[in-house]
Structure 1
């Protein structure tokens, strides 16, 4: 049945932009195209990196208004010419485009939402985008938290489905030479490495972790080192940043400057896997900020796929991503002392959760993600009066 489908996906979030949404949309294209004909509208920068099993229609990434207007024109043209059965928005940002284009050709309008694209408080977004999300035939949420936010935003519960993001499993083990070279390159020898992977934003909470939790860890384990992989986002919408300089300044003030190392983004997949596998624990101190929720936390699943447990606050979709005692530990939001204790628990028993982390990650394989999305696309669209 799926083979006869024509699916048009519209998204601004694709590599070379870096982040969980970008990885998810890349794999979304790849998995859908295994079972259907897929066209994609996305930023021209992604043309060389997009999966080869889609027909790609490039539009300018910047400025935002130009992306939106160009994507809208492309979507109308394709919907009239190609007559897709489903038009899908890769996030809430492109939902109005998907909805209007779908209405011109009788297609089903679907959006995959990530959290912030439902809760954002921008008045223009609330006026124009949220009504479009309420009119979509299907909303696919990335976590129970995002699904609840969608319901609170006025989206009918009948229209909301749940599909967690995926991960590449099993993560190929880094060779001994790769691990040794990476540790030598970043001067990690003899250190208890805690890793953080992701954008440097206020929500991620690294500055607060360095100030309030890392000194407690270092007091017991002076060789502990927080390796920060990531940089300030340039193209993320509604992202309040934490600069590398501000994190380093807090580290100096807290007396842990020698226990923090920022190395910027890692775009090479093999190097990123090596970075994960060089660590004892993945630190994910996301703050509980109203209307700025962490939709899921793909990095927690990626860490688990590399056998590395996550230590995080129990907030937003992270509760779906971390299995307590199996793929990591969760602390109450803002309890930095308890978070530090959990990190020390992992440091003191390195590798003890390796097998259970791998077992947890298997359920999130991209193949399972693709099948689950296809199941959601098959769901009948309820009446718009429901």
Structure 2
């Protein structure tokens, strides 16, 4: 088959970009849709492996009946009279069942065959729960092949409305974003302007401001823990002015503010590089013309520099909002009270501490929609084109 040069070029192009496309599909697109699906279920990550769990059926039968298979004068009728299939699977095998699975066990577990195999000593081999149910269920054994969470519709979202910690975490995330984003953006602009000036040592100062953004978040959190702790550096400094030591991170009134200061310090240097690139793209002739007209430094800054940095300001504000609404690591390392948690941290607690992945996924979807709406509004209200 003869292909045109344009088609061959397109095929080669797709081959080259296919690793990136696959990476985006696997690590970005699929998790979003998986999270959307799980948000409508009662997904419990601790139960994913429950049907793969291995056990010895004979031991489970001995626990359930209190009978040893090699005992004398043990009749089938005696065991059948006390055997409860649902209780056996739930408590002696140790598998949590949903309502549909409970009904299936009641109706279709072949108790007669199981008890006879027990008395004959045929249950000594270890097997998985799935294999056991496949062997002893007369029907509906497919319900026990793998864990499938129950579809519960909007239950997780209704629960969210009454969850006080969700509203606390959402409020904290908004307050965090409203304070941190403007401050870190303005500070980053000022740092970029200073770094763009022809002064001695500006390379050193660029490195100093940028280092926090490439340092380990865990390491920086531990440094600030030493600063903010009750016997820490900050309280020692304040003691010289007669102030009593404050437990900055354990006091709900100061903990979130302390984290904000740390975040501004660590991110301003990163965004400084973005603004520095924008500054270096502004023609020097504009500043020269302004100086000839007698414009002072701050006039040039507000009338020339700030408007011409509009594309960078939009980018930094959007990235700042996304980062602040998703802030997690500093909260995880430094804050221990539930009054100062953020949404991302509350998602983590539900997913990995409370083992309620379905509810965590629902919160994650709400956070995703909130960030999507905010960034869309930003793009509508603030155009990328620079203006005078």
Which TM-score band applies after superposition, normalised by the shorter structure? under 0.3
Greater relative contact order (Cα 8 A, min sep 6): structure 1 or 2?
Answer: 2
The structure where helix makes up a greater share of residues is 2
Give TM-score scaled by structure 2 length: 0.23
User: Could you say which structure has the higher strand fraction?
Assistant: 1
**TM-score scaled to structure 1, two decimals?**
0.23
